[in-house]
Amino acid sequence: MSYKIAVASSDGKQIDESFGSAKRFIIYEVVDGKYNFLEERIFQQEKSGKDTESSTEKCATSGSCEIEGSCNNQTAGCGSGAGEGTAKVELISDCRCIVCQKIGFRIQKQLERKAISAFDVSVPVEEALAKIAYYFERMDNHESLRAKRI
Residues that bind another protein (CB under 8 A): 117-121, 123, 128, 131-132, 135, 144-149
Which residue, 41 or 102, is less far from another protein as judged by CB? 102
Provide the strand spans (E) within 59-135.
Answer: 97-100, 117-120
* Least Å from the CB of residue 131 to another protein: 5
CB of 14 to another protein, least distance (A): 15
Pairing of strands 97-100, 117-120: parallel
Positive or negative: CA dihedral 88, 93, 99, 103: positive
Query: How far is residue 129's CA from residue 50's CA, in Å, rounded to a whole number?
Result: 39
Q: In this complex, which beta carbon is closest to another protein, that of residue 59 or of residue 121?
A: 121
Please identify, using beta-carbon distances, which residue of 64 and 148 lies nearer to another protein: 148
